[in-house]
Amino acid sequence: MYNGSKNYRSNNNFSVSKSGLRVGKFFIKQEYLILGSGLLIFLFVLHAVTRIVNTSLLIHFGCFAGALLLLANLREVLGNSFSPRQNTALLNSLVGGALVGAWLSQVIGLLFWIPAVILLGIATPLAFGSAPAYKVYLQQAQKSAIRVVQSVEQALNKQS
């Protein structure tokens, strides 16, 4: 209730004035209130910044690991010979692509999470040594490549 002075009082246990805040028998100076609220804001901002930096460093580390997996294994996957190591190379390439997709989702947009999750879903059967899944993946990749080449040829023929 306002009592005509610059002191607002709701009850006897709590009052606010220009010089500070009274809670029960305790009086807190205005300087301490400002200092305490400033400290809380600073700690909150510090926490938010460290989370952002930590997340960024982790996701950049994952992107670097994914790029290394892709570079190290892509040549073997694209080779024509069928060997037991190609299964592992394809698995590593899919995981590397998923890591790069996760990085792109953080840097560019959330839409890149979709291919990252799909790549991990495709890689899961290969992790358990499923040779039939590897053959199916290769056949589908060959069919897709043939369709892309045919589509490009048709588009070029229409332009001519």
pLDDT score for 81: 56
How do residues 92-117 score in pLDDT, each as one tens digit?
888 888 888 888 887 777 788 888 88
How do residues 18-75 score in pLDDT, each as one tens digit?
677 777 777 778 888 888 889 999 999 998 788 777 767 777 788 788 888 888 777 7
pLDDT score for 51: 74
pLDDT score for 65: 85
pLDDT: which is higher, 27 or 146: 146
This prediction has a pTM of 0.48
How far CA 100 is from CA of 57, 68, 115, 120, 160, in Å, comes to 14, 10, 10, 12, 38
pLDDT score for 83: 61
pLDDT: which is higher, 129 or 116: 116
Average per-residue pLDDT for the chain: 77
Whether the per-residue pLDDT at 78 is higher than 80: the answer is: no
Strand ordering across the sheet containing 26-29: 8-11, 14-17, 20-23, 26-29
